[in-house]
Amino acid sequence: MARRIAAGAAYGGGSIGLLGAAAVGVLLAEVQLAKRHVGGGIAPVPPSADGRYGAAFAGPAEPLRLGLLGDSTAAGQGVRRAGQTPGALLASGLAAVSERPVDLRNVAQPGARSDDLERQVSSLLADPCAVPDVCVIMIGANDVTHRIPATQSVRCLATAVRRLRTAGAEVVVGTCPDLGTIEPVYQPLRWLARRVSRQLAAAQTIGAVEQGGRTVSLGDLLGPEFEANPRELFGPDNYHPSAEGYATAAMAVLPTLCAVLGLWPETDRLDGDRCEDMLPVAKAASQAAKEAGTEVTGARAPWALLKHRRRRRLPTATEPHPHPGTSGDTALRKAAPAEAAAESYGESRKEKERRRSSRDLRAN
């Protein structure tokens, strides 16, 4: 199925039905029930995490440039501090491993689908003198929830990876997460969400690897943790990860991010004890979609390396320093909208509680 989706994306084919019409009626009630709970809270506006990380490593070497693209997961929606966002966590970790400063630019947009990657890539490559050394793309969840044809999603992702690679940037794609791990989603909708998510993730892997990128399957990476601690790893809207959830995802992506830049101590040699293998890319993609945290790297076509890199703890989260040439006042002004929105969110909740109390008193 993943190869068929990817092939359809490459040759402009139509969408592939992922669900028989007979099953639609059975799921309608589940969809309506999930809508009442998923997103029922209000996630804070993602804080701006752009800036320089690892300033203490400043030296003769130029800072590494890291770009982040994608949807609300890449933007860090659900947390209030810049240092808790995936971009900040990855930039801090990359700076610690490379012992060089890292300049982060995040163009991810909450609610974005794969067709928004064209705009994001154009924004990131607008300055030819500041092309990122490496980019991380996290996309796919909104494509599933908005029923975007998988072939269209993969085509948009493959085009984005190709443009970034042509510009000279390395690319790591965090594939579609497993939407079956969302707590308020029950069977049989949970089964369907998991199936569609995995099929898209596998097809994304094929599309990205064929364009010279690497992928890391996010899949049900947070599934066991979410089942044990759903209140800790879900954000206030019951959909986006919390700070702990983002840290778990960043720990899975960081080894591949460092490896693609030649910074990770592990090599690309296969470790049989860790079930690493060289497989046809379609089979490697399917296997990776089933096991979160798995890296797929292109080898000699049509083969790919299936890797399970060792994770290491992230350094303590830090807040970004302004980019050189950006004054502290300017950085504060950029952060002000997110802080104001967070304050407004808190005030609006208090106001709603006051109005509700007033109505209850009048009713009595």
Catalytic residue list contains 237: yes
Whether residue 280 contacts residue 304, with contact meaning beta carbons closer than 8 Å, is answered with yes
- Determine which one of 72, 153, 217, 286 is catalytic: 72
The helix-helix angle for 86-98 and 243-260 (nearest 10°) equals: 40
Catalytic residue list contains 308: no
CB neighbours of residue 271 within 10 Å? 14
- Determine which one of 71, 217, 240, 242 is catalytic: 240
- Determine which one of 237, 271, 308, 323 is catalytic: 237
Helix H, strand E, coil C: the string for the chain is: CHHHHHHHHHHCCCCCCCCCHHHHHHHHHHHHHHHHHCCCCCCCCCCCCCEEECHHHCCCCCCEEEEEEECHHHHCCCCCCHHHCHHHHHHHHHHHHHCCCEEEEECCCCCCCHHHHHHHHHHHCCCHHHCCCEEEEECCHHHHHCCCCHHHHHHHHHHHHHHHHHCCCEEEEECCECHHHCCCCCCCHHHHHHHHHHHHHHHHHHHHHHCCCEEECCECCCHHHHHHCHHHHECCCCCCECHHHHHHHHHHHHHHHHHHCCCCCCCCCCCHHHCCEEEEHHHHHHHHHHCCCCEEEECCCCEEEEECCCCCCCCCCCCCECCCCCCHHHHHHHHHHHHHHHHHHHHHHHHHHHHHHHHHHHHC
Catalytic residue list contains 358: no
**Taking the mean position of all CA atoms in its chain, how far away is CA 2?**
20
Instruction: Report the b/e string of 199-212 with b at 16+ CB within 10 A.
Output: bbbbbbbbbbbbbe
Catalytic residues: 72, 237, 240
